[in-house]
Structure 1
Amino acid sequence: MTTAMGAALRRIQLGNALSAFGNGFTVPFLFIYVSQVRNLGASTAGIVLATFAVAALVVLPLTGRVIDRRGPLPVAIAGTVSAAIGSMGLGLADSQSLVVAAAAALGAGIAVIQPSLATMIVWCSTPTTRSRAFAMQFFLNNLGLGVGGLLGGQLVDTSDPSSFVRLFAIESAMFLVLGAAIATVRLPKVPKVEDAVPTDESAKGGWRSLFADRAMVQLCVLGFVMFFACYGQFESGLAAFAVEVTRISPATLGIALAANTAAIVLAQFVVLKLVERRRRSRVIALVGLIWTVAWIAAGVSGLVPGAHGVATALLISTYALFGIGESMLSPTMAPLVADLAPARLVGQYNSAFALVKQLALAVGPAVGGLMAGGGMYVAYIAMLIVCSLGISALALRMGRRLTPEQETPLRASAARTGTAEKAVVVEETDRMPVSV
């Protein structure tokens, strides 16, 4: 990695961390804010949460093509402006129509920012440094969300709407800080980066090329199952199971969520050293097995109501195990998407994977909520155990289609370097004069 690439990447990561910090001020309190503080009811709060997903699903199919035609910088800046307007709008809105409109602007902005930043990280890294770059992004995201949530909890007062206006103002300002940070980024002018910026003609047919890429299609299917079985259940089915079946208090549920964040923050770079030289498909398969254990632990926690301490420990362990799995995926999934993408379609591939994530995050809570609402907890846990085992099976199947450079870029790079060095030695030997 060149000095220019490293400087650009550090600026992108700093802006992203501050944006996550701002998000942390509002994300845990959004439902309460809409339903209770603004007195718009739980149904309106549910509509607002659904609006985030709908807005993302509307803009993401178009985002990749724009990134590949115009570059990620203008797209990311537009996303930060939309997110800042939406966030401030949520803080000031006092009617259902205004709240939903603000949520749409915020959701669309965040959805556009994600693949844009991912593409910028790809441009500012190499195949051998990409895993570490995405791991750092994931680490800073979770750290920012956690710190922001802790500080936001100290500032919020449900009896005082103005306290929430302050929270949303902070979030809005942090989006603008992100926009300012990336606006000053000068992407390094190296052949690899220039090749990644296509003309309008070369970006055409992006979706057709993507669907023809069997490895990418398999990765998208795998990603959907993964996001459905983990992230899509945190705030719906798993939370309901924890409260209704395991019988833990909402305060203890907060501790479990904190355990998830702590596991990510503490384990991220230890895990990175363990996985970055391993086959990516096998790392993902191992995550499926870890999450299988996590769901089994959650199920057992509901079978020991008489041993409340044991049940609570099992439930907290479930969230911690999810965090360990997430820390293994951060240096694996996003870099793999980038390494599968042709240089001219990096934005398209990143946007497609972000679209799959949003679909899973829309379907997952709906399915989890319906099953929890119907008391189908045994079927719910069984379904998610099957999904987790499916992750392992899908990952191993996908691995058959990956090249050595896509599976283990560090090993492949070392092998190429070793081959080149041997070739130089042979060439030098051939040039040596022969003694008679």
Structure 2
Amino acid sequence: MPLRIVPPSGSPRTLALAQLVNSLGDGAYYVCSALYFARVVGLSPARIGLGLTVAWGVGSLAGVALGRVADRRGPRPTAVVLALATSASVASFLFVRSFPLFLLAACCYATAQCGLAAARQALLASLVTKEERTGTLAYLQSTLNAGLAVGAALGGVALHFGSREAYLSVFVLDAAAFALCALVLLRLPDVRVDRMPHRLAAQQAVFRDLPYAVVTFLNMIMLLRMPLISLAIPLWIVERTSAPGWTVSTLLVLNTGAVMLFQVRTAAAVRDLPSATRTIRRGGVVMLASCAVFALSAAAGVPAQVAVAVLLAGAALQVWGEMMQSAGAWQISFDLAPAGRHGQYQGFFGAGVPVARMLGPVLLTTLVVGLGVIGWLILGALFLAAGLAMGPAVRWAGKARTAVAYAV
């Protein structure tokens, strides 16, 4: 398969352009936001952590409700409104001067982000054929990583200057990026939605779909790899290995570049539910291997250059497992969602992301930094168990899908 990072023309390319635009702003935001809240606003790290934990908890719940709005009102107008709402919430950070205002702004930001993610997934499901969804999402993930990389570089410039004005320019950039994203989404064709009145049971179908909830939970466990690369591994490198500090940025560049270049190729192996579960199972095995390799990097007497080599090998395995998990999860989340309810189902499935962001830091730092090698092996066992359990859970959900879809 040829190496491609640009999606086919039409709706997939427009969706990728929208993804690229807002990821540029987000890349800069992710690099600078914590330091802005600490240095400019004057919040303590504990309060920042508490505020973001509460915000993502609220966002994970709101995402399902906003996904139902996308099902009822149409995914394109809902996505446009939520992109503008995200823009406004980012802009509101410019005026935050206290913890209560920070908490309010953060909750608005997380709610809009989670709802936007659900609406965009529903929009993709409406515009792209079932056979093309996973491949299109792979292109979008590659685009996302490219935008985050460029945005992070812009954020690095702001950090270099370190002034209040430099930080504020990053928030202005991110707010403008989401406003431009809304304009790009308007270029997509409108999607006809079912205007029949939905009974309450239909609107809350995802909460009664136990098999889908189990699948979502298993996927959430595998999403712990998100704070792994951004938080746990950097702390592990600094506190437990002899590797130099610049290794942290090297591993992040490796992760971002690999996803940008190889996510589409990895997703090509996923065509249906059986191939998706096989891919996730293999991803669990690879993630276990990556955890074992990371653990070796702190072996006694390992010189710095050897530690760096071991860490690079572990990061290569980690990003390979990440790409397999992503490709399989995309296929599963769409194929198990009843027609006409992609918004609420994608909102529910996507809640795994904010939950992993909310609970992952505490869990991973306790396991990896606190327990060391044993913690790495426990974490690897969690990835493996979730990967192995996904197949039976998906088969159960597949059998129950028809009953859930018509239990209205």
Structure 2 residue corresponding to 1:346, chosen from 339, 342, 348? 342
Gaps of 5+ in 2: 1-7, 402-408
Instruction: Provide closer, same or farther for how the CA distance between residues 371 and 297 of structure 1 changes in structure 2, counting only shifts above 3 A.
Output: closer
Equivalent residues in 2 for 1:23-42 (5 A)? 23-42=26-45
d(CA) in 2 for partners of 1:128 and 1:327? 19
Which residue of 2 is the match for residue 236 of structure 1?
231
Assess if the C-alpha contact under 8 Å between 2:67 and 2:118 holds in 1.
yes
Compute the RMSD of aligned alpha carbons.
2.6
- The verdict on how the C-alpha distance between 1:297 and 1:402 changes in structure 2, with shifts beyond 3 A counting, is same
Shift of 1:50: 2.0
CA contact (8 A) 1:25 1:171 kept: yes
Offset at residue 403 of structure 1 (A) = 6.5
Structure 1 position 275, deviation (Å): 4.2
Q: Which residue of 1 aligns with 2:243?
A: 248
Equivalent of residue 326 in structure 1, options 315, 319, 322: 322
Paired letter, 2:153: L
Change in Cα spacing, 1:385 to 1:254, as seen in structure 2 (3 Å) is same
Q: TM-score normalised to the size of structure 1?
A: 0.82
Give the direction of change, closer, same or farther, for the CA distance of 1:308–1:237 in structure 2 (3 Å limit).
same
Structure 1 residues 301-312: aligned runs within 5 Å: 301-312=297-308
Give the unaligned 5+ runs of structure 1.
189-193, 407-436
1:112-191 residue pairs with structure 2 within 5 A? 112-157=115-160, 159-187=162-190
Q: 1:271 aligns with which of 266, 269, 275?
A: 266
Which letter does structure 1 place at the counterpart of 2:390? A
Offset of residue 98 of structure 1: 2.9
Q: Secondary structure at the match of 2:261?
A: helix
How far residue 402 of structure 1 moved from its aligned partner, in angstroms, is 7.2
Contact preservation (8 Å) 1:298, 1:318: yes
Shift of residue 198, structure 1, vs aligned partner: 5.2
User: Is it true that 1:386 corresponds to 2:381 in the alignment?
Assistant: yes
Deviation, structure 1 residue 401: 4.2
Amino acid at match of 1:307: P
Give the structure 1 partner of residue 100 of structure 2. 97
Question: Which structure exhibits the higher relative contact order, with contacts defined as CA atoms closer than 8 Å and separated by 6 or more residues?
Answer: 2
CA distance in 1, matches of 2:149, 2:204: 36
Residue 290 (1) aligns with residue 286 (2): yes
Q: Normalising by the residue count of structure 2, what TM-score does the alignment of the two structures yield?
A: 0.88
Q: May I ask how many residue pairs the two structures share in their alignment?
A: 392
- Higher gyration radius (CA): 1
Q: Distance in 2 between matches of 1:348 and 1:324?
A: 30
How far residue 280 of structure 1 moved from its aligned partner, in angstroms, is: 1.0
Aligned to 1:355: 351
Aligned residue among 306, 310, 314 for 1:314: 310
307 and 340 in structure 1: CA distance in 2 versus 1, 3 angstrom threshold: same
**What amino acid sits opposite 1:369 in the alignment?**
T
Q: Is the 8 A contact 1:291 1:321 kept in 2?
A: yes
8 A contact 2:276–2:327 mirrored in 1: no
Rounded to whole Å, the distance in 2 between the matches of 1:392 and 1:161 is 45
Kept in 1: contact 2:131–2:271 (CA 8 A): no
Partner of 1:205: 202
Letter of the 1:201 partner, please give it: H
Query: Do 2:291 and 2:376's aligned partners in 1 also have CA atoms closer than 8 Å?
Result: yes
Q: What is the aligned-residue identity percentage?
A: 21
Deviation of the 1:276 alpha carbon: 4.3
Structure 2 Cα separation of the partners of residues 372 and 158 of structure 1: 34
Contact 2:68 2:344 in 1 (8 A): yes
SS of equivalent to 1:234: helix
CA shift, 1:116, in A, is 0.6
Q: Answer whether contact 1:300 1:314 (CA < 8 A) is retained.
A: yes
Instruction: Measure how far apart 1:302 and its partner are.
Output: 1.3
Q: Report whether the alignment pairs 1:398 with 2:393.
A: yes
